[in-house]
Amino acid sequence: MDRDKILLTPGPLTTTLRTKLAMLKDWGSWDADFNAVTASVRKSLLKIIHAAESHVVVPLQGSGTFSVEAAVATVVPHSGHVLVLDNGAYCKRAARLTTLMGRRCTLMPFDEAQPVSAQALDDKLRTESTVTHVILIHCETGAGVLNPLQAIADVCERHRKGLIVDAMSSFGALPIDARTTRFDALVAASGKCLEGVPGMGFVFIRKAILEACAGQSQSLAMDLYDQYIYMEKTTQWRFTPPTHVVVALHEAIAQFEAEGGQPARLARYTRNYETLARGMSVLGFRPFLDPSVQAPIIVTFHAPGDPKYDFKTFYAAARARGFILYPGKLTTAETFRVGCIGAIGPDEMEQAVHAIALTLQDMGIASAAPAA
């Protein structure tokens, strides 16, 4: 197959040729031209969620998880108490890194097939007076659940608690508006719905709390306050930046804006999801989530109940036909996941469904229906 394999994962994603070509030039990390690219990216990111008046944005080297960890260490004081709303694997990861940062942390569990509850949070905060911050995963891609950001933000504001949002898999696709949704920090990354390449995260920090963040991080490399102050003074990154990642993101954002921004991206991903769901249903696959709580980002499907099914064989056969799928992330059922995001459209989703149909034929599986 001549073309690159299509990545049906929650990131890294399939990127356009324009984005790939942007990485063919070398850049000096202190050079004025590169600093101008960084400044342009930061300005564009603020614009996407209407945050220029209320927040600053701080880019950071590394995967998105680096930036979640940096946000917790920078925003939460050492005496803070973090409540993590837990309906999946990435919620549990946020809790673990919070504990490793030396902050007190409490997990508030929910069903992984359901959104977290704003009412339950409200009830919890009435009795749990020591909580200072709440962590919400906007789109929990362990299962694909869309969590109610606005409702959670409203509860946190009413109780005067800080809110840290992991918007890794939602930023750029699902609507977020800093003018109406109050949060202390919101974290996303280059290699997700903006369709850049992985290697850089970024954190929006509310201006009203910025000065209080000075000296709170116990990490040199992950101190977002220091990173922000240094960038404001010098226009440069403190330490060697991922230059090719930054310029690729700059180019990806130009394409994002030309496509029509967040509404257009959501519309395309929704068409991808609908095409996938329709085609997989014909083959007998059953989604793990009810459509009412499913974000059009990544879809979890129950594994076929046929005893001939084996994920490794299934994955390898789909891969040979040009499509990279993703293993399941659930503890309650055997599943696999198919992403709807990246520089792809409904045509690629139809091709993916066809490849999966041929894969089932290869495996001698007549129906992909799950076990009873």
CB environment 148-187: b (16+ within 10 A), e (fewer):
bbebbbbbbeebebbbbbbbbbbbbbbebebeebbbbbbb
CATH 3.40.640.10 corresponds to the domain 17-258 = yes
Taking only the tens place, the pLDDT of each residue in 35-80 is 999 999 999 999 999 999 999 999 999 999 999 999 999 999 999 9
What pLDDT shows up at residue 333? 83
Separate counts of helices (H) and strands (E) for the chain: 12, 14
The 3 state secondary structure assigned to 299-335 is EEEECCCCCCCCHHHHHHHHHHCCEECEECCCCCCCE
CATH fold of 6-10+260-363 reads Aspartate Aminotransferase, domain 1 (3.90.1150)
Contact in structure between 25 and 247 (CB atoms under 8 Å): yes
Domain chopping of the chain, boundaries = 6-10+260-363, 17-258
pLDDT value for 328:
87
What is the predicted pLDDT for the residue at 330? 77
- Considering the entire predicted model, what is its pTM? 0.96
The 10s digit of each residue's pLDDT in 238-278 is: 999 999 999 999 999 999 999 999 999 999 999 999 999 99
Series of mean pLDDT values for 10-residue runs along the chain (372 residues): 81 96 96 97 98 98 97 98 97 98 97 97 97 98 95 98 98 98 98 98 98 97 98 97 98 98 98 98 97 96 96 96 91 89 98 98 96 85
